[in-house]
Amino acid sequence: MILQLSVSGLGFSGADVGGFFASKNLNESDHEKHMLLMKWHALSVFQPFMRQHSHKDAKRREPFLFKQEVFDVLRWSIRQRQVLMPYLYTIFKEYSAIGVPPMRPVHMEFPSEPIRDDYLFMCGPSLLVKPATTEDDQT
């Protein structure tokens, strides 16, 4: 959805990382939900905006509240985002000047390459992103 919004002219969009509501039942031992949260955080590093968001009735989700394995990935994601800030500012300047979205389909940068993965996307002109889309994919 974010990629489609980007190419439709809404280049500054993103997801509520970790969902928005209905997390009251997330507990310390819920491995599947923790894996999803870690993958979601890692992916959001390369999206136009990254925010962990919630609802007042949802369980608190500050990174330090999770077990060490989850905390480490969330911290890595936040640090990676900070490292990328100069690059992100550059691609947003390009977006504001000429309208090329920060998050873009691969064919915008490589029009002659046959792409066989619908989940691949570009973060600016230089970073190819392949999200973890299956349970076996690593963060």
pTM attached to this predicted model: 0.81
Whether 120 shows a pLDDT value over 60: the answer reads yes
In this prediction, residue 67 carries a pLDDT of: 86
Section 79-87 average pLDDT = 96
Residue written as tokens 């009251």? 24
In this prediction, residue 134 carries a pLDDT of: 72
Q: Determine the Cα–Cα distance for residues 131 and 77; give it in Å rounded to an integer.
A: 13
Among residues 88, 13, 14, 73, which one has the least CA distance to residue 41? 73
Section 1-10 average pLDDT = 87
Percent of the chain with pLDDT over 90: 39
pLDDT band at residue 129, thresholds of 50, 70 and 90? very high
Domain ranges of the chain: 2-129
Asked if residues 103 and 109 have their Cβ atoms less than 8 Å apart, the reply is no
In this prediction, residue 20 carries a pLDDT of: 62
In this prediction, residue 92 carries a pLDDT of: 94
Fold topology of 2-129: TIM Barrel (3.20.20)
Kindly report, residue by residue over 22-81, the tens digit of the pLDDT. 555 555 567 787 888 888 889 999 999 888 777 777 777 778 888 899 899 999 999 999
Per the model's pLDDT, the better-predicted residue between 137 and 130 turns out to be: 130
